[in-house]
Chain A
Protein backbone atom coordinates (compact mmCIF):
# COMPACT_ATOMS: atom_id res chain seq x y z
CA UNK A 1 0.00 0.00 0.00
CA UNK A 2 1.21 3.52 -0.79
CA UNK A 3 -0.06 6.50 1.14
CA UNK A 4 -0.10 9.82 -0.70
CA UNK A 5 -1.47 13.10 0.41
CA UNK A 6 -5.12 12.89 -0.60
CA UNK A 7 -4.96 9.30 -1.71
CA UNK A 8 -4.24 5.66 -1.09
CA UNK A 9 -2.97 3.22 -3.67
CA UNK A 10 -3.43 -0.47 -2.97
CA UNK A 11 -2.71 -3.58 -4.98
CA UNK A 12 -5.18 -6.03 -3.46
CA UNK A 13 -8.82 -6.11 -2.49
CA UNK A 14 -8.26 -6.97 1.18
CA UNK A 15 -6.21 -3.79 1.73
CA UNK A 16 -8.76 -1.73 -0.16
CA UNK A 17 -11.60 -3.00 2.02
CA UNK A 18 -9.55 -2.38 5.15
CA UNK A 19 -9.06 1.25 4.14
CA UNK A 20 -12.77 1.55 3.33
CA UNK A 21 -13.58 0.29 6.82
CA UNK A 22 -11.26 2.76 8.55
CA UNK A 23 -11.07 5.93 6.48
CA UNK A 24 -13.54 8.13 4.63
CA UNK A 25 -12.34 7.80 1.04
CA UNK A 26 -13.85 8.13 -2.41
CA UNK A 27 -13.28 4.99 -4.47
CA UNK A 28 -11.52 5.92 -7.73
CA UNK A 29 -11.57 3.44 -10.58
CA UNK A 30 -11.17 5.24 -13.91
CA UNK A 31 -11.71 8.81 -12.78
CA UNK A 32 -13.70 9.88 -15.84
CA UNK A 33 -16.73 10.95 -13.80
CA UNK A 34 -14.94 11.96 -10.60
CA UNK A 35 -12.43 14.26 -12.28
CA UNK A 36 -15.09 16.26 -14.13
CA UNK A 37 -16.13 17.62 -10.78
CA UNK A 38 -12.80 17.21 -9.00
CA UNK A 39 -12.91 18.39 -5.42
CA UNK A 40 -9.77 19.89 -3.92
CA UNK A 41 -10.22 18.04 -0.64
CA UNK A 42 -11.08 14.69 -2.19
CA UNK A 43 -9.27 11.70 -0.74
CA UNK A 44 -9.22 8.89 -3.26
CA UNK A 45 -8.80 5.18 -2.84
CA UNK A 46 -7.24 4.15 -6.15
CA UNK A 47 -8.65 0.86 -7.33
CA UNK A 48 -7.09 0.68 -10.78
CA UNK A 49 -4.22 -1.61 -9.77
CA UNK A 50 -6.24 -4.26 -7.91
CA UNK A 51 -6.17 -7.54 -9.89
CA UNK A 52 -9.41 -8.81 -8.29
CA UNK A 53 -11.22 -5.81 -9.78
CA UNK A 54 -9.65 -6.11 -13.23
CA UNK A 55 -10.67 -9.68 -14.13
CA UNK A 56 -13.25 -10.90 -16.60
CA UNK A 57 -14.08 -14.58 -16.28
CA UNK A 58 -17.07 -16.84 -16.54
CA UNK A 59 -18.54 -19.65 -14.49
CA UNK A 60 -21.47 -21.84 -15.49
CA UNK A 61 -24.10 -19.20 -14.97
CA UNK A 62 -22.48 -15.78 -15.03
CA UNK A 63 -19.93 -13.64 -16.73
CA UNK A 64 -18.02 -11.89 -13.95
CA UNK A 65 -16.82 -8.41 -14.85
CA UNK A 66 -14.42 -6.82 -12.38
CA UNK A 67 -15.69 -3.42 -11.30
CA UNK A 68 -12.49 -1.64 -12.36
CA UNK A 69 -12.37 -3.16 -15.85
CA UNK A 70 -12.31 -0.39 -18.41
CA UNK A 71 -14.88 -0.14 -21.18
CA UNK A 72 -12.14 -0.93 -23.68
CA UNK A 73 -11.18 -4.08 -21.79
CA UNK A 74 -14.79 -5.23 -21.68
CA UNK A 75 -15.30 -4.38 -25.35
CA UNK A 76 -12.22 -6.32 -26.41
CA UNK A 77 -12.97 -9.38 -24.29
CA UNK A 78 -14.43 -12.25 -26.29
CA UNK A 79 -16.60 -13.31 -23.34
CA UNK A 80 -18.54 -10.03 -23.25
CA UNK A 81 -22.11 -10.18 -24.62
CA UNK A 82 -22.77 -8.23 -27.82
CA UNK A 83 -25.48 -6.06 -26.24
CA UNK A 84 -22.88 -4.70 -23.81
CA UNK A 85 -20.36 -4.19 -26.60
CA UNK A 86 -22.94 -2.24 -28.59
CA UNK A 87 -23.50 0.12 -25.68
CA UNK A 88 -19.77 0.60 -25.14
CA UNK A 89 -19.27 1.24 -28.86
CA UNK A 90 -21.49 4.32 -28.57
CA UNK A 91 -20.18 5.41 -25.20
CA UNK A 92 -18.09 8.61 -25.16
CA UNK A 93 -14.86 8.31 -27.18
CA UNK A 94 -11.72 6.13 -27.18
CA UNK A 95 -9.79 8.01 -24.47
CA UNK A 96 -12.71 7.78 -22.06
CA UNK A 97 -13.39 4.15 -22.93
CA UNK A 98 -9.74 3.45 -22.10
CA UNK A 99 -10.07 4.84 -18.58
CA UNK A 100 -13.75 4.70 -17.58
CA UNK A 101 -14.99 1.55 -15.88
CA UNK A 102 -18.22 -0.39 -15.67
CA UNK A 103 -18.10 -0.24 -11.86
CA UNK A 104 -17.67 3.51 -11.95
CA UNK A 105 -20.54 3.84 -14.40
CA UNK A 106 -22.76 1.92 -11.97
CA UNK A 107 -21.60 3.58 -8.74
CA UNK A 108 -21.77 7.11 -10.14
CA UNK A 109 -25.49 6.33 -10.27
CA UNK A 110 -26.47 8.49 -13.18
CA UNK A 111 -29.70 7.43 -14.90
CA UNK A 112 -27.82 8.16 -18.12
CA UNK A 113 -25.16 5.52 -17.48
CA UNK A 114 -24.97 3.63 -20.76
CA UNK A 115 -23.71 0.33 -19.38
CA UNK A 116 -25.95 0.37 -16.28
CA UNK A 117 -28.91 0.26 -18.68
CA UNK A 118 -27.58 -2.95 -20.19
CA UNK A 119 -26.96 -4.48 -16.78
CA UNK A 120 -30.56 -3.64 -15.84
CA UNK A 121 -32.12 -5.30 -18.85
CA UNK A 122 -29.76 -8.28 -18.59
CA UNK A 123 -30.80 -9.01 -14.98
CA UNK A 124 -27.24 -8.47 -13.79
CA UNK A 125 -26.28 -8.75 -10.14
CA UNK A 126 -23.67 -6.84 -8.19
CA UNK A 127 -21.18 -8.45 -5.84
CA UNK A 128 -20.44 -6.00 -3.06
CA UNK A 129 -17.83 -6.68 -0.38
CA UNK A 130 -16.66 -5.33 2.94
CA UNK A 131 -14.12 -6.71 5.39
CA UNK A 132 -16.64 -9.08 6.93
CA UNK A 133 -18.12 -10.59 3.80
CA UNK A 134 -20.14 -9.98 0.69
CA UNK A 135 -23.66 -9.47 -0.54
CA UNK A 136 -25.08 -9.97 -3.99
CA UNK A 137 -27.82 -7.61 -5.16
CA UNK A 138 -29.87 -7.35 -8.35
CA UNK A 139 -28.74 -4.07 -9.94
CA UNK A 140 -32.16 -2.45 -9.56
CA UNK A 141 -31.93 -2.85 -5.78
CA UNK A 142 -28.65 -0.95 -5.78
CA UNK A 143 -30.16 2.42 -6.62
CA UNK A 144 -32.21 4.66 -4.39
CA UNK A 145 -32.22 7.71 -6.62
CA UNK A 146 -30.12 9.96 -8.83
CA UNK A 147 -26.55 9.69 -7.60
CA UNK A 148 -27.67 7.61 -4.62
CA UNK A 149 -26.96 3.96 -4.02
CA UNK A 150 -27.12 1.52 -1.11
CA UNK A 151 -23.33 1.14 -1.15
CA UNK A 152 -22.15 1.61 2.43
CA UNK A 153 -19.05 3.57 3.42
CA UNK A 154 -17.13 0.38 4.18
CA UNK A 155 -18.12 -1.42 0.97
CA UNK A 156 -16.81 -1.71 -2.55
CA UNK A 157 -18.49 -2.96 -5.70
CA UNK A 158 -16.26 -5.84 -6.72
CA UNK A 159 -17.92 -7.57 -9.66
CA UNK A 160 -20.86 -7.34 -11.99
CA UNK A 161 -22.46 -10.73 -12.64
CA UNK A 162 -24.07 -10.90 -16.06
CA UNK A 163 -26.18 -13.97 -16.93
CA UNK A 164 -24.52 -15.85 -19.78
CA UNK A 165 -27.70 -17.16 -21.34
CA UNK A 166 -30.55 -15.38 -23.02
CA UNK A 167 -28.94 -12.09 -24.10
CA UNK A 168 -28.59 -13.00 -27.76
CA UNK A 169 -31.84 -11.51 -29.03
CA UNK A 170 -31.62 -7.87 -28.09
CA UNK A 171 -32.44 -4.36 -29.20
CA UNK A 172 -30.40 -1.32 -28.25
CA UNK A 173 -30.78 2.31 -29.23
CA UNK A 174 -29.13 5.37 -27.82
CA UNK A 175 -30.52 8.74 -28.78
CA UNK A 176 -28.00 11.54 -28.32
CA UNK A 177 -27.30 14.91 -29.87
CA UNK A 178 -24.24 13.62 -31.72
CA UNK A 179 -22.41 10.39 -32.37
CA UNK A 180 -19.33 10.63 -30.15
CA UNK A 181 -19.15 11.95 -26.60
CA UNK A 182 -22.93 12.13 -26.40
CA UNK A 183 -24.80 12.00 -23.14
CA UNK A 184 -27.91 9.92 -23.85
CA UNK A 185 -31.15 11.85 -24.20
CA UNK A 186 -32.95 8.56 -24.12
CA UNK A 187 -31.42 5.10 -24.23
CA UNK A 188 -33.45 1.93 -24.60
CA UNK A 189 -32.47 -1.70 -24.28
CA UNK A 190 -34.74 -4.66 -24.81
CA UNK A 191 -34.36 -8.43 -24.68
CA UNK A 192 -36.89 -10.70 -26.30
CA UNK A 193 -36.86 -14.48 -26.07
CA UNK A 194 -39.27 -17.10 -27.31
CA UNK A 195 -39.34 -20.84 -26.92
CA UNK A 196 -41.48 -22.94 -29.26
CA UNK A 197 -43.39 -19.84 -30.25
CA UNK A 198 -44.10 -18.80 -26.68
CA UNK A 199 -42.63 -15.60 -25.23
CA UNK A 200 -40.40 -16.45 -22.28
CA UNK A 201 -38.87 -13.04 -21.76
CA UNK A 202 -39.66 -9.52 -22.84
CA UNK A 203 -37.41 -7.19 -20.85
CA UNK A 204 -37.16 -3.47 -21.43
CA UNK A 205 -35.10 -0.79 -19.74
CA UNK A 206 -35.21 2.97 -20.27
CA UNK A 207 -32.22 5.17 -19.50
CA UNK A 208 -31.91 8.97 -19.15
CA UNK A 209 -35.61 9.27 -18.43
CA UNK A 210 -36.05 9.44 -14.67
CA UNK A 211 -33.85 9.46 -11.56
CA UNK A 212 -32.81 5.87 -12.15
CA UNK A 213 -32.97 3.51 -15.11
CA UNK A 214 -36.60 2.40 -15.44
CA UNK A 215 -37.76 -1.16 -15.75
CA UNK A 216 -41.27 -2.45 -15.07
CA UNK A 217 -41.21 -6.18 -14.48
CA UNK A 218 -44.94 -6.37 -13.76
CA UNK A 219 -45.73 -4.84 -17.14
CA UNK A 220 -43.24 -7.09 -18.93
CA UNK A 221 -44.99 -10.11 -17.39
CA UNK A 222 -48.11 -9.43 -19.45
CA UNK A 223 -46.46 -10.94 -22.53
CA UNK A 224 -44.73 -13.86 -20.86
CA UNK A 225 -46.33 -17.23 -21.65
CA UNK A 226 -48.16 -15.83 -24.67
CA UNK A 227 -47.71 -16.54 -28.35
CA UNK A 228 -46.68 -13.71 -30.68
CA UNK A 229 -50.26 -13.60 -32.03
CA UNK A 230 -51.69 -13.35 -28.52
CA UNK A 231 -49.19 -10.63 -27.64
CA UNK A 232 -50.14 -8.79 -30.81
CA UNK A 233 -53.79 -8.82 -29.79
CA UNK A 234 -52.98 -7.00 -26.53
CA UNK A 235 -50.28 -4.75 -27.98
CA UNK A 236 -52.26 -1.56 -27.51
CA UNK A 237 -52.97 -2.39 -23.86
CA UNK A 238 -49.30 -3.22 -23.33
CA UNK A 239 -48.25 0.13 -24.80
CA UNK A 240 -50.90 2.00 -22.82
CA UNK A 241 -49.51 0.52 -19.61
CA UNK A 242 -46.07 1.91 -20.41
CA UNK A 243 -47.59 5.21 -21.48
CA UNK A 244 -48.91 5.47 -17.95
CA UNK A 245 -45.88 4.07 -16.13
CA UNK A 246 -43.15 6.21 -17.71
CA UNK A 247 -42.98 9.61 -16.08
CA UNK A 248 -39.93 11.40 -17.45
CA UNK A 249 -38.25 14.29 -15.72
CA UNK A 250 -37.26 17.47 -17.50
CA UNK A 251 -33.56 17.88 -18.09
CA UNK A 252 -31.67 19.35 -21.00
CA UNK A 253 -34.56 18.15 -23.11
CA UNK A 254 -38.25 18.32 -22.31
CA UNK A 255 -40.16 15.58 -20.54
CA UNK A 256 -42.55 15.41 -23.50
CA UNK A 257 -39.69 14.74 -25.89
CA UNK A 258 -38.26 12.03 -23.67
CA UNK A 259 -41.65 10.43 -23.32
CA UNK A 260 -42.36 10.30 -27.03
CA UNK A 261 -38.89 8.92 -27.79
CA UNK A 262 -39.42 6.21 -25.15
CA UNK A 263 -42.75 5.23 -26.66
CA UNK A 264 -41.37 5.24 -30.21
CA UNK A 265 -38.51 2.98 -29.20
CA UNK A 266 -40.80 0.66 -27.28
CA UNK A 267 -43.12 0.36 -30.27
CA UNK A 268 -40.22 -0.22 -32.65
CA UNK A 269 -38.90 -2.94 -30.35
CA UNK A 270 -42.28 -4.69 -30.35
CA UNK A 271 -42.70 -4.32 -34.11
CA UNK A 272 -39.27 -5.75 -34.77
CA UNK A 273 -40.25 -8.77 -32.74
CA UNK A 274 -43.40 -9.32 -34.78
CA UNK A 275 -45.77 -7.84 -32.20
Chain B
Protein backbone atom coordinates (compact mmCIF):
# COMPACT_ATOMS: atom_id res chain seq x y z
CA UNK B 1 0.00 0.00 0.00
CA UNK B 2 1.95 2.88 -1.32
CA UNK B 3 0.37 6.23 -0.67
CA UNK B 4 0.13 9.07 -3.09
CA UNK B 5 1.85 12.31 -2.30
CA UNK B 6 -0.49 15.26 -1.76
CA UNK B 7 0.55 18.87 -1.96
CA UNK B 8 -0.63 22.27 -3.09
CA UNK B 9 0.85 23.47 -6.34
CA UNK B 10 0.34 27.10 -7.35
CA UNK B 11 -2.77 27.20 -5.21
CA UNK B 12 -4.34 23.95 -6.39
CA UNK B 13 -4.45 20.69 -4.50
CA UNK B 14 -2.63 18.01 -6.48
CA UNK B 15 -1.40 14.46 -6.03
CA UNK B 16 1.58 12.60 -7.37
CA UNK B 17 2.19 8.88 -7.82
CA UNK B 18 5.95 9.34 -7.99
CA UNK B 19 8.32 7.57 -5.65
CA UNK B 20 9.07 9.42 -2.45
CA UNK B 21 12.78 9.57 -3.32
CA UNK B 22 12.31 11.38 -6.64
CA UNK B 23 13.18 15.00 -7.15
CA UNK B 24 10.46 17.65 -6.97
CA UNK B 25 12.21 19.30 -9.94
CA UNK B 26 11.57 16.33 -12.23
CA UNK B 27 7.96 15.98 -11.13
CA UNK B 28 7.25 19.66 -11.72
CA UNK B 29 8.78 19.63 -15.20
CA UNK B 30 7.75 16.20 -16.45
CA UNK B 31 4.36 15.57 -14.83
CA UNK B 32 3.01 19.06 -14.34
CA UNK B 33 4.77 20.55 -17.39
CA UNK B 34 5.95 23.52 -15.34
CA UNK B 35 9.00 24.14 -17.45
CA UNK B 36 9.67 27.55 -15.96
CA UNK B 37 11.44 25.49 -13.31
CA UNK B 38 14.84 24.99 -14.93
CA UNK B 39 17.33 22.23 -14.38
CA UNK B 40 20.86 23.59 -14.29
CA UNK B 41 22.98 21.40 -12.07
CA UNK B 42 20.99 19.02 -9.85
CA UNK B 43 23.29 19.77 -6.96
CA UNK B 44 22.03 22.99 -5.46
CA UNK B 45 24.73 25.11 -7.02
CA UNK B 46 22.82 27.20 -9.54
CA UNK B 47 19.37 28.05 -8.24
CA UNK B 48 17.70 27.70 -11.65
CA UNK B 49 15.21 25.22 -10.18
CA UNK B 50 14.22 27.49 -7.28
CA UNK B 51 10.63 27.31 -6.05
CA UNK B 52 8.88 28.63 -2.97
CA UNK B 53 8.26 25.75 -0.58
CA UNK B 54 5.96 26.70 2.27
CA UNK B 55 6.90 30.29 1.54
CA UNK B 56 10.67 29.90 1.59
CA UNK B 57 13.11 29.59 -1.28
CA UNK B 58 14.19 26.02 -2.04
CA UNK B 59 16.13 24.28 -4.78
CA UNK B 60 13.59 21.82 -6.17
CA UNK B 61 16.40 19.55 -7.36
CA UNK B 62 17.28 18.84 -3.73
CA UNK B 63 13.78 18.15 -2.47
CA UNK B 64 12.58 14.56 -2.38
CA UNK B 65 8.87 14.15 -3.09
CA UNK B 66 8.10 12.40 0.19
CA UNK B 67 9.22 15.43 2.15
CA UNK B 68 6.60 17.72 0.60
CA UNK B 69 3.47 15.84 1.64
CA UNK B 70 1.01 18.52 2.77
CA UNK B 71 3.27 21.34 1.65
CA UNK B 72 2.68 24.37 -0.54
CA UNK B 73 4.76 24.74 -3.67
CA UNK B 74 4.79 27.87 -5.79
CA UNK B 75 6.64 27.96 -9.09
CA UNK B 76 7.25 30.92 -11.38
CA UNK B 77 4.07 29.94 -13.27
CA UNK B 78 1.98 30.50 -10.16
CA UNK B 79 3.93 33.49 -8.95
CA UNK B 80 3.62 35.24 -12.32
CA UNK B 81 -0.08 35.82 -11.63
CA UNK B 82 0.67 38.09 -8.66
CA UNK B 83 1.04 41.86 -8.37
CA UNK B 84 4.42 41.34 -6.77
CA UNK B 85 5.59 39.50 -9.85
CA UNK B 86 4.38 42.36 -12.03
CA UNK B 87 6.38 44.84 -9.97
CA UNK B 88 9.51 42.71 -10.29
CA UNK B 89 8.89 42.06 -13.98
CA UNK B 90 8.50 45.78 -14.72
CA UNK B 91 11.67 46.54 -12.77
CA UNK B 92 13.63 43.82 -14.57
CA UNK B 93 12.45 45.31 -17.87
CA UNK B 94 13.52 48.81 -16.85
CA UNK B 95 17.09 47.71 -16.14
CA UNK B 96 17.26 45.15 -18.98
CA UNK B 97 18.06 42.56 -16.34
CA UNK B 98 17.12 39.62 -18.53
CA UNK B 99 19.48 38.34 -21.17
CA UNK B 100 19.27 34.62 -21.97
CA UNK B 101 16.56 34.13 -19.37
CA UNK B 102 17.56 30.72 -18.04
CA UNK B 103 18.24 31.89 -14.49
CA UNK B 104 15.35 34.34 -14.39
CA UNK B 105 12.51 32.17 -13.00
CA UNK B 106 14.69 31.13 -10.06
CA UNK B 107 16.17 34.61 -9.75
CA UNK B 108 12.72 36.23 -9.57
CA UNK B 109 11.63 33.80 -6.87
CA UNK B 110 14.84 34.50 -4.93
CA UNK B 111 13.99 38.22 -5.16
CA UNK B 112 10.48 37.50 -3.93
CA UNK B 113 11.80 35.48 -0.99
CA UNK B 114 14.16 38.33 -0.15
CA UNK B 115 11.58 41.11 -0.40
CA UNK B 116 9.01 39.09 1.56
CA UNK B 117 11.45 39.05 4.48
CA UNK B 118 13.08 42.38 3.90
CA UNK B 119 11.04 44.91 1.87
CA UNK B 120 13.85 47.49 1.83
CA UNK B 121 17.07 45.57 1.28
CA UNK B 122 20.49 47.17 0.91
CA UNK B 123 22.73 46.32 -2.04
CA UNK B 124 24.63 43.85 0.13
CA UNK B 125 21.42 42.20 1.31
CA UNK B 126 20.17 41.89 -2.27
CA UNK B 127 23.43 40.27 -3.36
CA UNK B 128 23.20 37.88 -0.45
CA UNK B 129 19.57 37.11 -1.24
CA UNK B 130 20.40 36.11 -4.81
CA UNK B 131 23.77 34.55 -3.96
CA UNK B 132 22.52 31.02 -4.69
CA UNK B 133 21.25 31.96 -8.13
CA UNK B 134 23.85 31.99 -10.85
CA UNK B 135 23.47 34.21 -13.89
CA UNK B 136 26.04 33.37 -16.55
CA UNK B 137 25.11 36.36 -18.68
CA UNK B 138 26.67 38.30 -15.79
CA UNK B 139 23.64 40.43 -15.29
CA UNK B 140 23.88 40.78 -11.53
CA UNK B 141 24.21 44.55 -11.40
CA UNK B 142 21.06 45.04 -13.44
CA UNK B 143 19.23 42.53 -11.26
CA UNK B 144 20.32 44.28 -8.06
CA UNK B 145 19.10 47.58 -9.53
CA UNK B 146 15.81 45.93 -10.51
CA UNK B 147 15.20 44.70 -6.97
CA UNK B 148 15.74 48.22 -5.65
CA UNK B 149 13.30 49.63 -8.21
CA UNK B 150 10.72 46.93 -7.41
CA UNK B 151 11.08 47.64 -3.69
CA UNK B 152 10.56 51.36 -4.33
CA UNK B 153 7.84 51.26 -6.98
CA UNK B 154 6.05 48.28 -5.53
CA UNK B 155 5.88 49.85 -2.10
CA UNK B 156 3.20 48.26 0.03
CA UNK B 157 3.21 45.02 -1.96
CA UNK B 158 5.81 43.45 0.31
Does A94 belong to the interface (CB within 8 Å)?
yes
A92 CB to nearest B CB, Å: 7
Say which residue of B19, B42, B57 sits within 8 Å of A6 (CB atoms).
Answer: B19
Residue of B nearest to A29 (CB): B67
Question: Size band of the B side of the interface?
Answer: 35 or more
CB-based contact A99/B2 at 8 Å: no
How does the 8 Å CB contact mask read for A3-37 relative to B, with 1 for contact and 0 for none?
A: 11111110000000000000000001001101110
Say which residue of B5, B23, B59, B66 sits within 8 Å of A96 (CB atoms).
Answer: B59
CB-based contact B21/A38 at 8 Å: yes
CB-based contact B44/A96 at 8 Å: yes
Q: B129 — which chain A residues lie within 8 A by C-beta?
A: 94
- Beyond contacts A2-B3, A98-B56: 13 other A-B pairs, Cβ-Cβ < 8 A, are A3-B2, A4-B3, A4-B5, A4-B65, A4-B66, A6-B22, A7-B21, A38-B23, A42-B21, A96-B132, A98-B58, A99-B53, A99-B58
B70 CB to nearest A CB, Å: 8
CB-based contact B62/A32 at 8 Å: yes
Does B10 belong to the interface (CB within 8 Å)?
no
CB-based contact B43/A44 at 8 Å: no
A190 to B62, CA, bound (A): 32
Does A206 belong to the interface (CB within 8 Å)?
no
Q: B66 — which chain A residues lie within 8 A by C-beta?
A: 4, 6-9, 28, 44, 46
CB-based contact B131/A93 at 8 Å: yes
CB-based contact B132/A35 at 8 Å: no
Question: Size band of the A side of the interface?
Answer: 20 to 34
A180 to B132, CA, bound (A): 7
A42 to B66, CA, bound (A): 12
Q: B45 — which chain A residues lie within 8 A by C-beta?
A: 181
CB-based contact B20/A4 at 8 Å: yes
Number of A-B residue pairs having CB atoms within 8 Å of each other in the complex: 117
Does B69 belong to the interface (CB within 8 Å)?
yes
Does B93 belong to the interface (CB within 8 Å)?
no
A8 to B2, CA, bound (A): 10
Q: Which residues of A contact B (CB under 8 A)?
A: 2-9, 28, 31-32, 34-36, 38-40, 42-44, 46, 48-49, 72, 92-96, 98-99, 179-181
Q: B53 — which chain A residues lie within 8 A by C-beta?
A: 98-99
CB-based contact A94/B132 at 8 Å: yes
Does B74 belong to the interface (CB within 8 Å)?
no
Q: B3 — which chain A residues lie within 8 A by C-beta?
A: 2-4
CB-based contact A99/B19 at 8 Å: no
Q: B76 — which chain A residues lie within 8 A by C-beta?
A: none
Does B1 belong to the interface (CB within 8 Å)?
yes
Does B119 belong to the interface (CB within 8 Å)?
no
Q: B133 — which chain A residues lie within 8 A by C-beta?
A: 93
Q: Which B1-46 residues have C-beta < 8 A from chain A?
A: 1-3, 5, 19-23, 42-45
Does B88 belong to the interface (CB within 8 Å)?
no
Q: A43 — which chain B residues lie within 8 A by C-beta?
A: 21
A96 to B70, CA, bound (A): 21
Q: B2 — which chain A residues lie within 8 A by C-beta?
A: 3-5
CB-based contact B64/A94 at 8 Å: no
